[in-house]
Chain A
Amino acid sequence: MIDGTTISQPLLWVTLTLVAYAAARRLYTRVPVALLHPVVLCTAAVIAVLKLTGTEYAAYMNGGQLISFFLGPSVVALSVPLYLNLQQMRRSAPMLLLVTVFGSLVGIVSAMVPALVLGAPDSLVLALAPKSVTTPIAIGIAEAIGGEASLTATFVVLTGIIGAMLGPLFLRLLGVVHPVAVGLAMGSAAHGLGTARVLEDDRLAGAAGGLGICLCGILTAVFAPLITAGLL
């Protein structure tokens, strides 16, 4: 058996993560169920291997940080769809900005308040605050407000899955059918996973989803420190 405590080479863990992800993605293309999203399966597989080999998370991150390094430039890369979507929706952009200001405030408060009422500890409540935002931004926010980045990453993925599963049906029940409204709502509530779900049927909804991801990410980064300071 491999003794994980002595093997801390980055190569091993990068390879494990990459192979697990590629396998998970192949499975997902055959069985496209939101709960079996590649991130969920891959994360579960990597955790299982680490537990079986008795490897510490810190040892895994010797390799893992080489992968998560790319989250930083990925956020900067979001400026390309943001710029293009803003151009495409130039006339309605000011109004959509107002809507996402409202949406990001609701997003922060609506997760924190139920958790507070149900008696969750402050560390959990802080990690929940940026849950609707795309992961790299959410992790940056969690670090800024003193939440645990790993918990936040998990909550973000779960939020994306919940939004992708329930979102389209819930919006239809509410009578929200305008493709831009549907896309903006899915991107604001459930980031990339939610947007991917509506992008399948409608490109305009996909573009609005991209706008929702970017604007809500920026606005939540602005509001989260203020609101968490006020609530806790």
Chain B
Amino acid sequence: MLGGFSLLLLFLLVGEMVSTIGLVLPGNVIGMLLLTGTLALGIVRVEQVRAASNVLLDNLAFFFVPPAVGVMLYFEVIAEHWAAIAIALVIGTLAVLLAVGASAQLALRRLEARSREGSGPGGSGPRNGSEDESGERSGGSSGGPA
């Protein structure tokens, strides 16, 4: 698991370094994207970082208590503008639920309907053909040197 932590910190470090060059993304997000890319390319295996990742993500809520405590510095601002804050938070949350929920459901239903139409018996034909082809080709090349 220490190896996993080292990898996470290493990617964070690289992300922070890249973000100082002037990218708008925070360094931690760059680190996340880089690690996702290396996982997809198979350079890093999921098993190498899964345990360390789970420990951090299981306790994520605890890590943001100290920044949240900092709200004590802004009690006066919040008291003055509490109605604007409350309305902005409720409208902002419901708007995202509506935008994502409705459009995702619409798109998913379309996608599922299309894949139901498209999944006929003909789909496997071309793939078999290409496998035969490659089989012949490899057979031919192995025969060459002999």
Residues of A within 8 A of B (CB): 17-18, 21, 37-39, 42-43, 46-47, 50-51, 57, 60-61, 64-65, 67-68, 70-84, 86, 91-92, 95-96, 98-100, 102-103, 106-107, 110-112, 114-115, 118-121, 123-124, 128, 131-132, 134-137, 139-141, 143-144, 148-151, 153-159, 162-163, 166-167, 170-171, 174-178, 180-182, 184-186, 188-190, 192, 212, 214, 217-218, 221-222, 225
Residue in chain A with minimal CB distance to B81: A120
Size range of the chain B interface in the assembly: 35 or more
A99 contacts B103, C-beta separation under 8 Å = yes
- What is the minimal beta-carbon distance from A103 to any residue of chain B, in angstroms? 4
- List residues 22-53 of chain B with CB under 8 A from any CB of chain A: 24-29, 31-33, 35-36, 39-40, 46, 49-50, 52-53
Question: Is chain B's binding surface mostly helix, strand, loop or mixed?
Answer: helix
Cα A72 to Cα B16 with chains together (Å): 10
Q: Given A150-B68, A153-B71, A214-B32 in contact, is the A70-B100 Cβ separation under 8 Å?
A: no
In whole angstroms, how far apart are the Cα atoms of A221 and B66 in the complex? 22
Contacts A84-B46, A154-B71, A188-B100 given; indicate if A46 touches B81 (C-beta within 8 A): no
Any A CB within 8 A of the CB of B21: no
User: With A47-B69, A118-B84 known to touch, is A182 a contact of B101 (CB < 8 Å)?
Assistant: yes
Nearest CB to that of B64 among chain A residues? A135
A132 to B74, CA, bound (A): 20
* Contact present for A178 and B56 (CB under 8 Å): no
Q: When the two chains form their complex, are residues B67 and A103 in contact, meaning their CB atoms are under 8 A apart?
A: no
CA–CA, A217 to B49, complex, Å? 21
Is B70 a contact of A149 with CB atoms below 8 Å? yes
**A38 vs chain B, min Cβ distance (A):** 6
